[in-house]
Amino acid sequence: SRSSLGMTFLVGGQATTLIVQSLCWKPPLFSLYSHILLVYYLTMFITLLPKKPPKAPYSLRSAVAGSYVSGTYSIVFVNCPNEQIARDIARASLDKKLAASVNILPKASSLYFWNGEIEEATEILLLIKTKTSKVHALSSYIRLVHPFEIPEVFSLPMDQGDVHYFKWLEEGVE
């Protein structure tokens, strides 16, 4: 009968057992034959291991911190009664470094309740891009200069985006 020698190795975080069978009649000892087989199996096993560890998943990078934290920047939505007021608010927000960019979207049809009645109006929508830390100051400024009694001002955090765009936003509101 053959004797066998089992050895367990920890490779790549997984336990692997090699069983080397010996053709000798002796109790399991490390004979030359067992040694050669062991080296052969180890060599074959190691060559099957991946050469490089897998790459980490892609993550957004910012210019400042090195990794983007979701919600660092926000888009602020503001409806204005006409294009001149929208332009004035947009330009002042940029001049005061409360925003890095403003889109002015013309002719948004709005339906809303006001004093118990359904109202309908054509408004100008501003999409203001800024740092989330500046949203409160921007909202306060808009409430001061906006002609509506209760201006529509709300923000949504930016979850993902282009690395270069976030860098540009950062530079625009410093």
| Residue 110: strand pairing partners | 121
User: What does the domain layout of the chain look like in residue ranges?
Assistant: 3-47, 73-172
- Measure the CA–CA gap between 91 and 80, rounded to whole angstroms: 14
How does pLDDT run across 59-116, given as a tens digit for each residue? Answer: 444 444 456 788 899 999 999 999 999 999 999 999 999 999 999 999 999 999 999 9
Domain 73-172 falls under CATH 3.30.70.120: yes
> Above pLDDT 90, what percent of the chain?
51
Q: pLDDT category, 162, cuts 50, 70, 90?
A: confident
Q: pLDDT category, 13, cuts 50, 70, 90?
A: low
For the chain, strand residue ranges (E) read 3-11, 14-22, 73-80, 101-114, 117-131, 153-157
